[in-house]
Amino acid sequence: MAVSKGALEGVKVLDLTRILAGPTCTQLLGDLGASVLKIENPGTDGDDTRQWGPPYVTDAEGNPSDLSAYFMSANRNKRSVAIDITTTKGQDIIRQLAAQADILVENFKPGGLAKYGLDFDTLSNELPGLVYCSISGYGQTGPNASKPGYDLMAQGYGGIMSLTGDPEGAPMKVGVGIADVMCGMYATVGILAALRHAERTGEGQQIDIALVDSQVAWLINEGTNYLTSNTLPQRRGNGHPNIVPYDVYETKDGHVILAVGNDTQFRRFCDFIGLDSLPDAPEYATNPARLENRDSLNAQLRPAIAQRTTSEVIAGLEARKVPVGPVQTLDQVFDSAQVEARGMKIPMQTDPGAVHLIGNPLNLSRTPVTYRRPPPTFGADTESVLQAQNPFED
């Protein structure tokens, strides 16, 4: 069987994005085989995240490069082309590249590209088959459309911070830029749907995707809990709003995660920790009852679990088919046999030096993802791309 270059081999992506949501989207397209040209502003030395360090990749003499770890997290499988779109020459180059592209992705403020003639309305008149994805904080419409968008803002405005953190503490953001990442993933899904339509009909379209909309969408059960009950959910730390016990519990030497999803598992769990009478008590016999009596139940579970080590709890509950797991630090994560087996830590060779990056979680049996290009230094491909007869040839 011939080696595949990816399901999106031959698809050409013009990437006018920076920071995280847009680059996450275009990196995913690149991993799937698309050829991605990342346009960077020479006036700012490229994508803002090139300066979001340390850490940076250093050269043989120990000098830092413009490859910050943050930048590298979302910019492999791309070529960097330095173009000043504020100039007439730069705008002409972008139009020429767009004319050869299948997809254009941008994350300027709504209306921000119109003054350069690079907005959807202008380009779609010239290029009716172009799939044009616009990523912004609040979307292209609505009273907040003109406001800037950052991940922390989206997590606050979209409600996830009101659900996250210790019940007695302050609202808390998720530990990484998850609103950006999820927006980038939704954008990718929208692009692939629009690309399918364009391939069938020759008709391009605009995808309007917002950080805040994406974050609201993944409120999932807690959002629907509120819409169904009109009752504001409470912060519960690591506790689950609809299942008990489903939380992080302290052990003799650390912490362990329990995810007891049904009454049969609860009975086996209680047998292990020596509280086998609990499942027969009416206040704990069913999940709705345990939800109603969450505090009194945890008051009995926590001391019993704290008498055992983490390894003892995990081994005992795994033997009883009760969902359980550790709380790992990142060194434990990336040193684990599971991460190695699944290819979630990948080596790449950048111009300054060797690095490890996080792998793509998609495993396609016939068109696997590929890691063809390391994250580029700023403008590394400008000359070769602009002089090429086929600039998207990867």
Q: How far apart are the first and last CA of the chain?
A: 22
How high is the pLDDT of residue 2? 56
Using DSSP, state whether 344 is helix, strand or coil. Answer: coil
- Which letter does DSSP use for residue 142 in this model? S
What string of pLDDT tens digits covers the 394 residues of the chain? 456 789 999 999 999 999 999 999 999 999 999 999 999 999 999 999 999 999 999 999 999 999 999 999 999 999 999 999 999 999 999 999 999 999 999 999 999 999 999 999 999 999 999 999 999 999 999 999 999 889 999 999 999 999 999 999 999 999 999 999 999 999 999 999 999 999 999 999 999 999 999 999 999 999 999 999 999 999 999 999 999 999 999 999 999 999 999 999 999 999 999 999 999 999 999 999 999 999 999 999 999 999 999 999 999 999 999 999 999 999 999 999 999 999 999 999 999 999 999 999 999 999 999 999 999 999 999 999 999 999 999 8
Between CA 83 and CA 66 the distance in angstroms is: 17
Query: What are the structure tokens assigned to 315, written together?
Result: 């081994």
Number of residues that make up the chain: 394
Q: Which residues are catalytic?
A: 180
